C-alpha cells in the first residue's frame, strides 16, 4: 500500500512539474521569439549601409510615389513620379525639395527625417523599445522625439524596414510605405549632392 501511495504521489509531482514546465514554456518561448525578432531587426539594420526602394507616401491624404536611395547616416535622394519633376535630397545636413517651379531648403535637424535617417539613433531607440506585432507579418516600434511621434515598420520575416509614419506637433500625418527594397547597392558618388536652385 505504501508503494502505491508513493507511486501516486510521484505521478502527481511529475504531473505538477509538467504543468509548471508547460506554463514556463508558454511564457518564455513567445518572449524569446519576440526578442529574437527584435535582435534580428537590430542586426539587419546594423548590416545595412544603404537602401534603394520604391515608395508610396501619404501626407495628410495627398498620395505620391516614386523611387529613393537612402544612405546612412542621414542621406536620401527621392525622385517622385510627378509631372513637376519633384525630387527630395538630403546631404546629411540640409534637405531640399525641388520641383520644376519651386525650391525649398531646410536644415535636416528640423525634420523627422533627421531621426529616421540616423541609423545609430534608430538602433539605440529600438534596443530600448517594446515591439508590437501587426497581423503576424509586421513589427512596429513607436517613439516620440522632438515633438514628432514616429512609428517604424519592419517586415517580420526579412527584418527589413518597410516604412514609417510621422505625426508632428501641428498634427501633420505622413505615412511612407517602401517596397522592392535592395540593400547595400553601389550608389552613385554624387547622388546626395543638393540640386541647384532654378
Please report which residue ranges of the chain form alpha helices under DSSP H.
2-46, 113-116, 119-127
What phi and psi values does residue 123 have, to the nearest 5 degrees? -60, -45
pTM summary value: 0.80
The segments of the chain whose pLDDT lies below 70 read 1-34
pLDDT at 2: 42
92: left (phi over 0), alpha (psi -120 to 50) or beta: left
Instruction: Indicate the helix (H) or strand (E) that contains 163.
Output: strand 161-167
Domains within the chain, CATH numbers bracketed: 45-81+108-183 (2.50.20.10)
pLDDT at 153: 98
Report the sign of the C-alpha dihedral through residues 183, 184, 185, 187, in that order: positive
pLDDT at 11: 52
pLDDT at 28: 36
pLDDT at 142: 97
10 Å CB burial of residue 98 (0-12, 13-18, 19+) is buried
pLDDT at 34: 57
Q: What is the CA radius of gyration of the chain?
A: 24
Residues sharing a CB contact under 8 Å with residue 108, sequence separation 6 or more, in sequence order: 74, 90, 92, 93, 94, 95, 114, 117
pLDDT at 8: 45
181, 177, 160, 195: which is closest to 69 by C-alpha? 181
Return contacts of 31-35, CB within 8 angstroms, 24+ apart: 34/131, 34/133
As a whole number of angstroms, the distance between CA 150 and CA 18 comes to 44
What phi and psi values does residue 15 have, to the nearest 5 degrees? -65, -45
10 Å CB burial of residue 86 (0-12, 13-18, 19+) is middle
Amino acid at each position: 500500500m505504501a508503494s502505491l501511495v508513493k507511486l501516486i504521489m510521484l505521478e502527481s509531482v511529475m504531473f505538477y512539474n509538467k504543468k509548471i514546465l508547460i506554463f514556463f514554456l508558454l511564457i518564455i518561448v513567445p518572449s524569446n521569439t519576440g526578442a529574437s525578432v527584435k535582435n534580428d531587426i537590430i542586426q539587419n539594420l546594423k548590416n545595412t549601409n544603404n537602401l534603394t526602394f520604391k515608395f508610396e507616401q501619404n501626407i495628410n491624404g495627398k498620395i505620391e510615389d516614386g523611387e529613393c536611395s537612402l544612405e546612412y547616416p542621414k542621406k536620401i535622394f527621392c525622385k517622385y513620379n510627378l509631372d513637376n519633376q519633384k525630387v527630395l535630397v538630403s546631404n546629411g545636413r540640409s534637405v531640399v525639395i525641388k520641383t520644376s517651379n519651386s525650391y525649398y531648403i531646410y536644415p535636416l535637424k528640423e525634420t523627422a527625417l533627421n531621426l529616421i535617417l540616423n541609423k545609430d539613433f534608430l538602433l539605440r531607440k529600438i534596443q530600448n523599445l517594446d515591439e508590437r506585432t501587426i497581423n503576424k507579418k509586421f513589427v512596429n516600434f513607436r517613439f516620440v522625439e522632438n515633438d514628432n511621434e514616429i512609428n517604424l515598420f519592419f517586415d517580420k520575416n526579412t527584418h527589413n524596414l518597410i516604412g514609417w509614419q510621422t505625426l508632428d506637433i501641428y498634427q501633420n500625418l505622413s505615412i511612407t510605405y517602401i517596397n522592392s527594397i535592395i540593400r547595400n547597392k553601389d550608389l552613385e558618388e554624387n547622388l546626395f549632392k543638393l540640386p541647384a536652385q532654378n
